[in-house]
Amino acid sequence: MAITLTEKAAQQVERYLVRRGKGVGLRLGVRTTGCSGLAYKLEYVDDLAPEDSVFECHGVKVIVDPKSLAYIDGTELDFVRDGLNEGFRFNNPNVKDECGCGESFRI
């Protein structure tokens, strides 16, 4: 089981953590929503819960709750710039289908 970050994604997370002035890492999870059923959620973590799984990549910790891990195991998080747009991209090998707008997915 693993969650990984590309070097660009790790640099971006590190920048945000420094800007915030606190935090141990980035929480990656899923929530029920959208046309396909699941959507990713990202938030910065100040305290770890005992049940959290922690993965470290390029010096950045990625924290995942047990319920989300089944849906995102093997995911690589990248940070991309496309023209004026920039953001995180999820490369999840478990995805079977995505909605047309790209906001939600199905396993």
Total domain count, the chain: 1
Domain hosting 86: range is 4-106
Q: Which CATH number characterizes residue 10's domain?
A: 2.60.300.12
d(CA 15, CA 78): 15
pLDDT in tens, 5-29: 999 999 999 999 999 999 999 999 9
Q: Which residues, 6 or more positions from 69, have their beta carbon under 8 angstroms from its beta carbon? A: 1, 53
Per-residue pLDDT tens digits for 61-102: 999 999 999 989 999 999 999 888 899 999 888 887 776 665
